[in-house]
Amino acid sequence: MLTLKQIREDKDLAIKRLAVKGFDSSAIIDEIIALDDERKAIQAKVDADLAEMNNISRQIGVMFSQGKQLEANTLKQKTLDMKEATKVLQVRLSEVEQLLEQKIVLLPNFPSELVPEGKSASDNVVVRQSDNIPNLDKATALPHWELAKKYDIIDFELGVKLTGAGFPVYKGQGARLQRALISFFLDENTSAGYTEVMPPLMVNEASGFGTGQLPDKEGQMYHATVDNFYLIPTAEVPVTNIFRDVILNSKELPIKMTAYTPCFRREAGSYGKDVRGLNRLHQFDKVEIVQIAHPNESYKTLDGMVAHVENIVKKLGLPYRILRLCGGDMSFTSALTYDFEVYSAAQERWLEVSSVSNFEGFQANRLKLRFKEDGEKKTQLAHTLNGSSLALPRIVAALLENNQTEKGIHIPEVLQPYTGFEYIC
């Protein structure tokens, strides 16, 4: 979440920056400033009263020693009255602090100065695009859901029987391809210095709050109500929360982690041809990269993460483009996001396969994730970053569609050591 300093430093600038995300914050910011003023006033009154009561207590001791019992008892009664008044103030202080936090968490992160203005995905800026768009025969080219059925590698109907729509069953060479991609992505990440972790697939409310999924995306998460746990929408949530309530030394930065997990998203209200097959699922596999970085280095870190994901997509031989998201298409928590899309030749459309984002100190403030410069006592908020490296469903869709031949689906050379076969046939 934003800090009070960010909000109060320049109120008009804060409102202007949040407007880039299409968020009208003027009323909430006025409420936050009013609550913060009240908090400061109450705290000042409590501190002054406590100091006065300490001073009176010393006077009472002196008066009793001098035999001035009447004066001492009068002052004693005064301190008792002040204690009762202070208790009332402290209750109100607690209420104001809670209200203040409830208002602050409603504000999204400030967008970076690099974020283009815009209201929707159509306003995103193409940063780079490859030129290897395949030219398939439209008369014979099949979309991936038909290829999956033809080669019996993904069974969507069986998934509906077992669970529901959006929960496919991978079979035979399809299952092997999934496993191959997961291993390939993890190997690429660990070779680049990321430490692999295997986190839980369910998290508590504190973890959901820490990375910004709660309360913003509560309706998109599967909720195990008896235990009050949430199925993770991405490995970002448990992996980043490893460092919740942690103070690091600057020498430990950057910290680089990667994890494979299934991901679970309700995707409420998603229907139509654009979500057919693997285009949008409720359960899917994804490999994630997460970094905890020094604030002075986080944008250099972001560029490095983008280059790393781009290199993996290139190795798969997929046509791709990189977009810098406009303010209206960004997530609640992000300061700057780059999306990767691969081209689906049979569907003739671009499919998002990765988002790589810098959250600056927004998540770190929620997580209470701080660091100290070596030899200093003062703490600072770290910066957090994450990216998909990569999400499997649409990668698989593009691989199947773009590599279909008369002989079968050709597997990219980099994956063949993992699959053990050259063609799906």
Token reading at 163:
């669970």
Helix axes 298-315, 172-191, angle to 10 degrees: 140
Q: Residue 136's Cα: distance from chain center in Å?
A: 37
User: From CA 52, how far away is CA 313, in angstroms rounded?
Assistant: 67
Q: What region, left, alpha or beta, does residue 236 occupy, with left being phi > 0 and alpha being psi -120 to 50 degrees?
A: alpha
User: What CA dihedral angle connects 216, 309, 141 and 131, to 10 degrees?
Assistant: 120
Going by the annotation, the residues of the binding site for L-serine are 234, 265, 288, 386
Q: Are 279 and 233 in contact (CB under 8 A)?
A: no
Beta strand pairing call for 247-249 and 283-293: unpaired
Amino acid (1-letter code) at residue 362: F
Going by the annotation, the residues of the binding site are 234, 265-267, 288, 352-355, 386
Going by the annotation, the residues of the binding site for ATP are 265-267, 352-355
> Which positions ≥6 away from 188 have C-beta within 8 Å?
308, 311, 312, 315, 389
User: From CA 318, how far away is CA 132, in angstroms rounded?
Assistant: 8
